[in-house]
Amino acid sequence: MKTKIYSLSLLLVCCMTAMAIVPQKRVVKDLRSDKSTTLIVQNQQKATAVVTATNEEGVIYVEDFEEDACAWKFIQTPGETENAQQIGIVTDNVIPGMTGTCPAASGDRFVAGSYEDEGGPDVNHWAISDAITLAPGTYWVSFFVINSNLDGTEDGFRLCYGANASVAAMTNVVVDYTGENFELFEDWTLIKKQITVEAEGTFYFGWNHQAPAYAYFALFDWFRITTFEPENPKPIILGVNNVTHYGTWSALQYNTIYLPNTDAEIGLAATTNFVDTYDWSAVGVILTYEDSTDIMSFTYPQIGVAQLSLKVANNEGDTTATWEYQGILKAAAGTTDFLTNFAPGEEPNSMGYNVSKNYKMSYAEGFNHLDTDEEAHIKSVMIGIYEAYFEDYGDSIMSVRILGGKIGQGAAGQNIIIPDDTKEFGRKNMTFKEFLNDQDAYVEAPGKLLKITFDEPINVTGNYFIAIDLVQPDTLKYSLDNNYISILCLDRGNGSAQPTSWWRPYTVYKSWNDEDGWVSEGEYYRTLLYAQHEVDFTFAQSLFVMPEVVFGPYVNINNVKADNKLSIYPTPAKDMLYVENMAADATVAIMDIMGRTIANYTATSVQKGISLKGLANGIYVISVKDAAGIHTSKFVKE
């Protein structure tokens, strides 16, 4: 199956009727996907009418497809192939056969008609209602629709009605956007048309998706029959996706992000319906993207809480939503947190890896919340495992390493930071039994969160990577039955490299442990897809890996020896400690007996001594960093 691009914008729907359409713009591009999605195709023999309850005067019939027992029946393309994507109710906002998501026009569900395999018959899907009794009179029939015409494969549709629920009975055409009447509706668009009923009767309405075999999709939602003319809804803000290129989120503090510097940019993507215009504003941060779409980026000039507001509008009114984010630049020494590349609201799915002598894979998750000269130490790492089983290979050795970074090359020839095996900050070797905390080396789905505690905290600076080495001895036999591990990860879907996917973190790196070294997962797929399909797309993924980070360096107090280049007095000290002959550009840190940094100073601030009044009695370490290196010494506070 060849891969094509499809477009699904979540931007705007203008006021329109069935006869007057305003062209829409698109901003989100995704690829075909072989991933499964939840699709409800009802029993065609025993459907029971389910009509959405409404007290609105003049509403005769409503179906928004929110109930599992929906009475509409779905008729597939005659002669469809086994690879055909069927028509049905989408329950997870993912269009069958596609990646990316689309919010429903009403509620959480909609009807999706997708594509047929190349070489199969042209798509001819039907969604046909239950029986609707109408008295004589004039009615408005309305629904919302999205369709596609990428690569010239026009996804047309019709709405018809007849005296029974068969396709043959659908002889009365309400609207027709097939063939030469095709029009494109890239966002949820209200289609409405008046019909006249001459005599009371029972009617069935059918929505018909027609397209060439290898087309893309058409979506259908919120079907209504009313005595009044429907109007476009007011704009809706359904939520916001937090995406970032620089920085790492706190796993413990909601909407809190650690940033390496004031240039670190955070991106947001709002999910909206029925919007004509976007207006962003902010307090505490600097907006850095054009103020006219559903996406925005910003930077923090200093530590603080940012308030971002989005006002969306159409001819029917406006809606405003506000979000708060805590930005932390160069966290204070001693600050402890579990960090993650999963933004608030993002959840993992599973990702399987086979482990064998033929595939000695290593996977790494990159973190970029530290500035180039900023120091921290990692005490432990939490790793999400969905499923794992090794049977006789539980005693094989694997490792979790902390690596520094180096300059590598991306798919477009650009410089990127990749793991550097020659810059290993530290590691922990263990058997798979120890790693999985199970004597049978077995983890049953839906898995568990493993905590790997290092023998001693590992100091890091700048960009660092947590590598999981699934390296096995040559005697290991390849078998899915006894040699498999599924690491929890987040697959954000694939998307265009511009304008927004560079905000989507693809923080996974992989290595075959050979001369090719490490490669970014995202850049790997950019190269692959461009070579095969001449499109610049990438997969944005992050592993469910959470380091326990303490900001500031770790010093093992038992290994500290007196440095003759560092002169301090008095010792023991009571209220004040003095440092002699300190360089003007030096920085000073005080650490406790556990190696935790409890205070930081500059040379200028301690010219008249360091106050010890807030410290409990005991043994401490003073560390002075200058151009000549780092000088340490113990002292006693009494």
SS3 content of the chain, % helix, strand, coil (to 5): 5, 50, 45
Q: What is the per-residue pLDDT for 425? A: 96
Q: Phi and psi for 435 in degrees, rounded to 5? A: -60, -45
CA distances 390 to 235, 385, 452, 489, Å, are 53, 14, 19, 20
pLDDT tens, position by position, 58-101? 999 999 999 888 899 999 999 998 888 888 998 877 777 776 67
| Residue among 101, 122, 87 nearest 215 (CA) | 122
In this structure, of 15-29, 259-273, 305-319, 489-503, the range with the lowest mean pLDDT score is: 15-29
What letter would DSSP give residue 32?
B
Residue 28 reports pLDDT greater than 70: no
Residue with the larger pLDDT of the pair 213 and 595: 213
Domains of the chain: 5-226 (2.60.120.200), 236-329 (2.60.40.1080), 346-550 (no CATH), 555-637 (2.60.40)
Mean pLDDT (whole number) for 436-452? 91
pLDDT tens, position by position, 339-380? 999 988 888 876 777 666 556 678 999 999 999 989 999 999
CA distances 277 to 283, 315, 318, Å, are 21, 10, 9
Residue 22 reports pLDDT greater than 50: no
What is the total residue count of the chain?
638
| Residues sharing a CB contact under 8 Å with residue 175, sequence separation 6 or more, in sequence order | 18, 158, 159, 191, 193
Residue with the larger pLDDT of the pair 14 and 468: 468
Q: Phi and psi for 176 in degrees, rounded to 5? A: -140, 115
pTM, two decimal places:
0.75
Residue 40 reports pLDDT greater than 90: no
Most distant pair of Cα atoms in the chain: their distance: 105
How many contiguous H segments (helices) and E segments (strands) does the chain have?
2, 45
In this structure, of 42-46, 76-80, 453-457, 488-492, the range with the lowest mean pLDDT score is: 42-46
Residue type, 387: E
Q: What is the per-residue pLDDT for 535? A: 64
pLDDT tens, position by position, 93-145? 777 777 667 889 988 899 999 888 778 899 999 999 999 999 999 999 999 99
Q: How many CB atoms lie within 10 A of CB 252?
A: 12
Q: Phi and psi for 104 in degrees, rounded to 5? A: -70, 160
How far is it, in rounded angstroms, from Cα 186 to Cα 163? Answer: 32
